[in-house]
Amino acid sequence: MGKLGPFEENTVVCGDCLEVMRQMPDGCVDLVYADMIWENLDFGWLIPCRRILKSTGSIYVQTDYRSAAQLKLALDELFTFRNWIVWCYKAIPTRNRWYQRKHSDILFYTVSNDYTWNEPIQPPSKLALERFRLDKNGKILNPTPAMARKGIHYVRNVVCKDWWDDIPVPSGFSPWDTGHKVHKWQKPIKLLERMIGASSSIDDLIFDPFMGSGTTAIAADRLGRRWFGCDIVPAYVEIAMERIAADREKRR
How does residue 38 score in pLDDT terms, banded at 50, 70 and 90?
Answer: confident
pTM higher than 0.85: yes
The Cα angle at residue 114 between residues 227 and 210, in degrees rounded to 5: 30
Please, which residues have CB within 8 angstroms of residue 144's CB and are 6 or more apart in sequence?
A: none
pLDDT band at 134 (very low <50, low <70, confident <90, very high): low
The type of residue at 95 is R
CB atoms within 10 A of CB 71: 22
In this model, does residue 33 exceed pLDDT 70?
yes
Q: Which of 92, 86, 39, 88 is nearest to 62 (CA)?
A: 86
What's the rounded mean pLDDT across residues 112-116? 98
Residue 114, pLDDT > 90, answer: yes
Coil, helix or strand for 51? helix
Give the three-state DSSP class for 215: helix
Give CA–CA dist 238/30, Å, rounded: 25
Give tens-digit pLDDT for 183-240. 667 899 999 999 999 999 999 999 999 999 999 999 999 999 999 999 999 999 999 9
Helix H or strand E segment including 221: helix 215-222
Q: Please give the distance of CA 25 from its chain centroid, rounded to a whole number.
A: 24
CA distances from 72 to 54, 85, 137, 210 (A): 21, 12, 47, 18
For strands 3-4 and 205-208, give the pairing. unpaired
Closest CA to 164 of 62, 89, 91, 65: 89
* Confidence at 155, pLDDT banded by 50, 70, 90: low
Percent of the chain with pLDDT over 70: 81
Catalogue all structural domains in the chain, each as residue range(s) with its CATH number: 3-92+100-116+160-250 (3.40.50.150), 121-159 (no CATH)
